[in-house]
Chains A and B, each alone.
Chain A
């Protein structure tokens, strides 16, 4: 293919659980540009049940908007004009990601919950999987209970780990036997064999092979993911999971077989592609990054911290299919606390549950939008807790903790993610990318992550991080170029302190020195948000002298001075302390409106009228 080294036009799609998103890129002069986007509902519903129809509808929108001919309409099947034919006709590359079909749903098992089972979770999550349950010898459940769980869940793939190489084999065989005994049935097809990845004690492989020597299993043995207690190697297991995902799961979803034949490289699970792009960026810049992808069914969290990359997928925390579950897990009060409007519980619940049953609809009113923003904060907050639960040092000793604790607050000292040293937070996903004002995304991300110190916040412009992630497989440089220039919207820097105080107390004295010599000084109070407009192109010097009960990353009461950049929202000084505490009484609504006003988050008339 003569375009191999020099493509001109690239089409990328993401077949999401709710929406199929097409993104069209082209080379304009010497620069790669994002040209247009098209979206259409994902067509996995009856009577269509063929994802290529949704892809065609999304690409058709790109054609309508650009006048560039992409679809080959010579047959009833989806096809593209490839390679580029000159003028406004054809493309050179087509890539795709997917999270439709419920994504990759896995069951993981290990011997000790806080050792091998936790490593197994990291391996599965790293492959972009949704973890349905974690089985361990010490999980407190009786064998028959575990068997019932396995029978009920119907996972796509099962990952088994346990034991160090050369160590005891008994327990890992026991967990393997439990799974084999349940004869779990996969979700697709009666004749389908359930893929099992064995990544435990290598000396137990022969026994495990005997245990799974039934027709209904497809066993793959890979290197032990905990060969020694202090060593974790998740790559071989993760790669085996990704291979099996392509071979078994994707191929059985409606229409994927047709789609797989059209792509220039293998279809990647959306979270895997999203994570790959964020990791590539963090590595290239040598910075610590937190990322979030807010999907319709799941919330995906990414961290690249001191060279360690971690990706987690919180199943059933999402903004459409799973929006009801966010309410269920967080509790109505947690969602309501972010809404200053005088709405009854029933109205809030109706907005949320009607979105759940009609997941492709979008908010038309500011009230609906505000309720969705409240749910988004809670979804990310819980997803981040889940992430921190796995972002911990390797555990070699048994620690009591149950899976139900997963959305509970993770103590600071338990995770290696130090919020003071997070350089960037990147947000993506429909809700953030489609937020009508960038300030909305910025405050949602601040409220959910609650960063400390000086943190730069960016977001995906029109949701294209997964598209670019899969593109890195073929053209890393092009993907990075588009990512930095066209994809990331610089929102600005948030400056926040750890600590607590009474409303109105002094948090610190702030000075902002602009490049042109202007100086702004003010006192930041508890419960206050101040926004200073600073464009991305400008670098300002911020000096904070905190009160003794507040820490802006240099220590409690210690002065700190930093050069920082602005963005489309500017520099946000967050005086709410950490964690952000919202009062229960009437003060709450007043505070929220003051924050929204400071952020210029919703139309002035709406804020002035108290939401009327």
Chain B
């Protein structure tokens, strides 16, 4: 029996206080509007850039019936000119104007090129303004000119397992009294408009629909039925790459699909911070370079990494005494303490020989679970 194992588990963060750093990057080079040391709010615009408009290719030489290399001769506008949709940009005329062919601009935009290799003319739509907000309240720690602002804040921080909808912020309101309680529509009312509502183990579809109607900013809950989530987003989910759903609020599931009590630790952190303003982001990418949804609750106290009270989130290593949660049926959601980490392989119900961990559950019983099926939630 080894007392420490390399049963690495990714684990989801749930910290009452840590130093959260957010790199607020522009998608392409642009302008950063804040400077180091500035205090920023959730909605402060920290940078902006202009994203090139979509290009439209017009097969001009083909339409005019001329050779591609001659296209410049027939252009009625110059590269760089602004044009409106329908404007004539090239024309061909012969036999004293009896034979005329014209090419019109397909969109409002700027003439970008007239290519003598292909005979094509490109009209590009006007650039689109993209603004990036601070997302969290905090202090600008660093500025990468033209590219990003780094915002730092001491905060309570919770990661979920999957989310839907993008970045939003609002005041936390806990709508249930226990982490295993169901969030149904009776627990939501008009006072939740603009707030981030915390549920317990499960949300009904009716509760989600009501949240949408009332105008809540976010719902954080242990689990939901996959069919209900698909009904909400309006399509069948294929891969876990989410965050762009247009559902009017941000939904974060902390545990998974089904009725699964929210981890006590996460629930308590949310409860303790009721009334504080939090940022939520449902963006999830379960792929290499995993992104999990998150709740960031900026705190007033100045905290630095390593200072007492701050917790650094890191690689999980299972040890005897570690508090873990089981993340697969039949014990999905159960919490317990590691009592043994046998080195040798054990046969489980499926008859698979696997490395296991023995866990004492909260009811005192001891169960054996594959090491792959746990996540660490504390030492």
Task: Verify if A408 is at the interface (C-beta below 8 Å from B).
Answer: no
Min Cβ gap B52→A in Å is 8
* A177 near B120: Cβ-Cβ < 8 Å: yes
A-B contact pairs, 16 of them (CB 8 A): A47-B313, A101-B288, A144-B55, A147-B55, A151-B54, A174-B118, A177-B120, A321-B239, A321-B286, A346-B225, A346-B227, A350-B257, A361-B373, A364-B350, A365-B330, A436-B352
* A181 near B288: Cβ-Cβ < 8 Å: no
Task: Verify if B327 is at the interface (C-beta below 8 Å from A).
Answer: yes
Interface 1/0 per residue, B318-359 and A, CB below 8 Å: 000000000111111000000000010000111111110000
Bound form: Cα–Cα A144–B123 in Å = 11
Q: Which of A211, A353, A361, A436 contacts B257 (CB 8 A)?
A: A353
* A436 near B239: Cβ-Cβ < 8 Å: no
> Which chain A residues lie closer than 8 Å to B86 at the CB level?
none
Bound form: Cα–Cα A147–B352 in Å = 49
Chain B contact surface mostly = loop
Task: Verify if B287 is at the interface (C-beta below 8 Å from A).
Answer: yes
Interface 1/0 per residue, A136-156 and B, CB below 8 Å: 000000011001100100000
Q: Given contacts A143-B57, A353-B257, A358-B327, are A328 and B288 in contact (CB under 8 A)? A: no
* B287 near A17: Cβ-Cβ < 8 Å: yes
Q: Given contacts A41-B10, A45-B10, are A364 and B313 in contact (CB under 8 A)? A: no
Task: Verify if B236 is at the interface (C-beta below 8 Å from A).
Answer: yes
* B238 near A328: Cβ-Cβ < 8 Å: yes
* B372 near A360: Cβ-Cβ < 8 Å: yes
> Which chain B residues lie closer than 8 Å to A211 at the CB level?
117
> Which chain B residues lie closer than 8 Å to A183 at the CB level?
52
**In the complex, how many residues of chain A place their beta carbon closer than 8 angstroms to a beta carbon of chain B?**
74
Q: Which of B118, B236, B290, B314 contacts A44 (CB 8 A)?
A: B290
* A173 near B118: Cβ-Cβ < 8 Å: yes
Task: Verify if A114 is at the interface (C-beta below 8 Å from B).
Answer: no
Task: Verify if B162 is at the interface (C-beta below 8 Å from A).
Answer: yes
> Which chain B residues lie closer than 8 Å to A17 at the CB level?
287-288
* B288 near A434: Cβ-Cβ < 8 Å: no
Bound form: Cα–Cα A54–B289 in Å = 14
* B227 near A349: Cβ-Cβ < 8 Å: yes
> Which chain A residues lie closer than 8 Å to B351 at the CB level?
436-437, 603
In the complex, residue of chain B having the shortest beta-carbon distance to the beta carbon of A437:
B351
> Which chain B residues lie closer than 8 Å to A181 at the CB level?
55, 57, 122
Other A-B contacts than A350-B225, A436-B353, 10 sampled, CB-CB below 8 A, are: A45-B290, A49-B289, A356-B239, A358-B256, A359-B286, A363-B352, A364-B349, A364-B370, A368-B329, A436-B351
Task: Verify if B133 is at the interface (C-beta below 8 Å from A).
Answer: no
Bound form: Cα–Cα A349–B225 in Å = 9
Residues of chain B touching chain A, judged by Cβ–Cβ distance below 8 Å, are: 2, 6, 8-10, 52, 54-57, 68, 115, 117-118, 120, 122, 147, 161-162, 225-227, 236-240, 256-258, 284, 286-291, 313-315, 327-332, 343, 348-355, 369-370, 372-373
Min Cβ gap A221→B in Å is 16
Q: Which of A40, A147, A190 contacts B54 (CB 8 A)?
A: A147
Q: Which of A249-264 contact B (CB under 8 A)?
A: 253-254
Min Cβ gap A156→B in Å is 12
> Which chain A residues lie closer than 8 Å to B327 at the CB level?
354, 358, 361
Q: Which of B52, B122, B237, B287 contacts A102 (CB 8 A)?
A: B287
* B329 near A43: Cβ-Cβ < 8 Å: no
* A351 near B329: Cβ-Cβ < 8 Å: yes
Bound form: Cα–Cα A135–B348 in Å = 48
Bound form: Cα–Cα A32–B262 in Å = 51
9 smallest beta-carbon distances between A and B, as pairs:
A436-B351, A325-B238, A44-B288, A328-B238, A45-B290, A143-B57, A101-B288, A369-B350, A349-B226
* B329 near A324: Cβ-Cβ < 8 Å: no
**Which residue of B147, B288, B315, B353 has the most chain A CB atoms within 10 A of its CB atom?**
B288
> Which chain B residues lie closer than 8 Å to A101 at the CB level?
288-289
> Which chain A residues lie closer than 8 Å to B55 at the CB level?
144, 147, 181-182
* B315 near A53: Cβ-Cβ < 8 Å: yes
Task: Verify if A89 is at the interface (C-beta below 8 Å from B).
Answer: no
Task: Verify if A322 is at the interface (C-beta below 8 Å from B).
Answer: yes
Q: Which of A56-64, A333-341, A453-461, A511-519 contacts B (4 or more CB under 8 A)?
A: A56-64
Min Cβ gap B292→A in Å is 9
Q: Which of B120, B239, B352 contacts A325 (CB 8 A)?
A: B239
Bound form: Cα–Cα A90–B332 in Å = 41
> Which chain B residues lie closer than 8 Å to A53 at the CB level?
8, 315
* A102 near B288: Cβ-Cβ < 8 Å: yes
* B373 near A364: Cβ-Cβ < 8 Å: yes
Bound form: Cα–Cα A64–B1 in Å = 12
* A44 near B289: Cβ-Cβ < 8 Å: yes
In the complex, residue of chain A having the shortest beta-carbon distance to the beta carbon of B62:
A170
Bound form: Cα–Cα A326–B327 in Å = 22
* A366 near B286: Cβ-Cβ < 8 Å: no
Task: Verify if A46 is at the interface (C-beta below 8 Å from B).
Answer: yes
* A316 near B238: Cβ-Cβ < 8 Å: yes
Bound form: Cα–Cα A367–B332 in Å = 14
Q: Given contacts A100-B288, A353-B226, A362-B328, are A48 and B315 in contact (CB under 8 A)? A: yes
Bound form: Cα–Cα A254–B288 in Å = 9
* A207 near B350: Cβ-Cβ < 8 Å: no
In the complex, residue of chain B having the shortest beta-carbon distance to the beta carbon of A254:
B289
* B240 near A47: Cβ-Cβ < 8 Å: no
Bound form: Cα–Cα A41–B289 in Å = 13
Q: Given contacts A41-B10, A102-B288, A253-B288, are A362 and B240 in contact (CB under 8 A)? A: no
Bound form: Cα–Cα A400–B370 in Å = 50
* B239 near A148: Cβ-Cβ < 8 Å: no
Q: Which of B68, B284, B350, B373 contacts A436 (CB 8 A)?
A: B350
**Which residue of A42, A177, A207, A367 has the most chain B CB atoms within 10 A of its CB atom?**
A177
Task: Verify if A123 is at the interface (C-beta below 8 Å from B).
Answer: no
> Which chain A residues lie closer than 8 Å to B256 at the CB level?
350, 353-354, 357-358
> Which chain A residues lie closer than 8 Å to B288 at the CB level?
17, 42, 44, 100-102, 253
Min Cβ gap A223→B in Å is 22
Q: Which of B68, B284, B343, B372 contacts A362 (CB 8 A)?
A: B372
* B354 near A174: Cβ-Cβ < 8 Å: no
Bound form: Cα–Cα A65–B342 in Å = 12
> Which chain B residues lie closer than 8 Å to A294 at the CB level?
none
* B350 near A363: Cβ-Cβ < 8 Å: yes
* A177 near B57: Cβ-Cβ < 8 Å: yes
Q: Which of A119-167 contact B (CB under 8 A)?
A: 143-144, 147-148, 151
Min Cβ gap B206→A in Å is 16
* B373 near A362: Cβ-Cβ < 8 Å: yes
Q: Given contacts A40-B8, A43-B8, A361-B373, are A328 and B118 in contact (CB under 8 A)? A: no
Min Cβ gap B240→A in Å is 5
Task: Verify if A210 is at the interface (C-beta below 8 Å from B).
Answer: yes
Min Cβ gap A462→B in Å is 11
Min Cβ gap A6→B in Å is 32
* A144 near B226: Cβ-Cβ < 8 Å: no
* A350 near B226: Cβ-Cβ < 8 Å: yes
> Which chain A residues lie closer than 8 Å to B352 at the CB level?
362-363, 434, 436
Q: Which of B9, B238, B257, B373 contacts A349 (CB 8 A)?
A: B257
Min Cβ gap A9→B in Å is 21
> Which chain A residues lie closer than 8 Å to B147 at the CB level?
190
Interface 1/0 per residue, A403-439 and B, CB below 8 Å: 0000000000000000000000000000000101100
Min Cβ gap B328→A in Å is 5
* B328 near A366: Cβ-Cβ < 8 Å: no
Q: Which of A376-394 contact B (CB under 8 A)?
A: none
Task: Verify if A297 is at the interface (C-beta below 8 Å from B).
Answer: yes
In the complex, residue of chain B having the shortest beta-carbon distance to the beta carbon of A58:
B6
In the complex, residue of chain A having the shortest beta-carbon distance to the beta carbon of B160:
A357
Task: Verify if A178 is at the interface (C-beta below 8 Å from B).
Answer: yes
Min Cβ gap A283→B in Å is 33
Bound form: Cα–Cα A397–B350 in Å = 52
Q: Which of A23-82 contact B (CB under 8 A)?
A: 40-49, 53-54, 57, 60-61, 64-65
Interface 1/0 per residue, A82-106 and B, CB below 8 Å: 0000000000000000001110000
Min Cβ gap A252→B in Å is 11
* A366 near B227: Cβ-Cβ < 8 Å: no
